[in-house]
Amino acid sequence: WSAATPRGTLPDFRWTRRSLMSFAGVSVVDSAKHCTCDTSAVYAGADSGYHLLMVRDYSRTKVQLPTGESATTGLFTVGEYDWYIEYYPNGENPNCRDFVSLYVTRHTLYDCEGEEDVEAKFSFSLVDQLEKHKPVYIHGTNKTCTFSSSAPSWGSDRFVRRDALERSAHLKGDCLTIRCDIMVVCKDHKIEDAAGTVPDINQHFGHLLQNKVGADVTFEVGGETFAAHRCVLAARSKVFMAQLFGPMKEGATTSSVIQIKDMEAKVFRALLSFIYTDSLPAMEKDSMEEDEMSEVMDEGREEAAEFEMWLQWLEDLFVAADRYDLQLLKLICEKQLSEHISVSSVTSTLALAEKHHCCGLKEACLKFIQVQSPSCLQTVMATSGWDHIAVTYPWVVKEFIAKLASNQRK
């Protein structure tokens, strides 16, 4: 996944479908000081394109490039502008030292005054050999970023956790490939004025949710009310279909309020947003909680606390997606949870996966525990979360022991 953020800012998590892009070359990094770039396939005039960054000998780049140091690709051209990618295997700053950081930078001539700003959207994604030139679902941004002389770089300081990357299928033979998509927003102001930004169907439905025109059902969740459209909900969710039109129908008039318990308002709001727009919105932040947190915490601890809040929100959204049979949303949440497993969260994530019959997430948790050092393993097993698993899902503990025994025999 990738989020459009200036340096040092927490990402804004969104999902979007990649549109067709022109190929804008490939760069190969095989050490901290050696990077080659082949841009022979660039379609010079295209307003959108993608560049592939191939990292060979990933382990060596991790050793050679400490936190704050990057390998930089050669220049490639998209939308008549030159760009390059910065790859930080140990994070761009100490607050994200456990992550790979990625930034895309617009190349400018430093002695050139009055150079125009460039408006562009971009995204990063991990791909394998078969996916390199395919349109796929990616974690990116719908936000248009301004690349200026004062802020030429945008990217993600927490693109992917290193431990998650090293367990994933994306790292093969100590090599990985990163795809960077860039779309330069209409440079010709005449075209922009004439055509404007053409909204797609997801934007239209998003506006429908916001303006509530024609809404015919109301939900009350966590003390807040939400107006929605029965047909939209039913078309997207079999559970809503049954609840609103089938045997589970509430039976009241269209003005009735349907109570939803055991769910926070911000989670239901995100669920509705996904139903209408097919994209995962950023997590809401409680302004009062944020102010209180910033008063008592330094920057590093505040970021860690925000990350824990995001993780809890994602787990709750995963539960909601399962509850309403939204398989794509559940899959997106599963992928994000799998990539952000840590010693402190693995037991709660494992219990969540078992409770909701999510085999992929369960397997990711068990693999994470398997590769931990003895001291970390003791830390995991000393938690109340592990005790909960042992009591509630004893067969999971047996599976884990069997995996450990199998590894020892190998």
The full DSSP string for 233-244 is HHHH-HHHHHHH
pTM (predicted TM-score): 0.58
- The pLDDT assigned to 15 comes to 39
**Residue ranges covered by each domain of the chain:** 22-184
Mean pLDDT of 343-363: 90
CATH fold of the domain at 22-184 = 2.60.210
Two structure tokens written together for 144: 């248009």
Which one has a higher pLDDT value, 217 or 169? 217
Residue 67: phi and psi, rounded to 5, are -55, 130
- The pLDDT assigned to 253 comes to 43
- The pLDDT assigned to 68 comes to 92
- Per-residue pLDDT tens digits for 94-126: 988 999 999 999 987 655 555 778 888 888 888
Between 244-248, 275-279, 350-354, the lowest mean confidence (pLDDT) is in 244-248
Cα separation, 344 vs 223, in Å, equals: 31
Q: Which of 116, 136, 115, 109 is nearest to 124 (CA)?
A: 136
Cα separation, 35 vs 73, in Å, equals: 6
Give yes or no for residue 272 having a pLDDT over 90: yes
What type of residue is 42?
Answer: V
Q: Across the beta sheet with 34-38, what order do the strands follow?
A: 34-38, 22-31, 48-55, 176-184, 118-127, 145-147
Average per-residue pLDDT for the chain: 78
* 3-state percent breakdown (helix, strand, coil) of the chain, nearest 5: 40, 25, 35
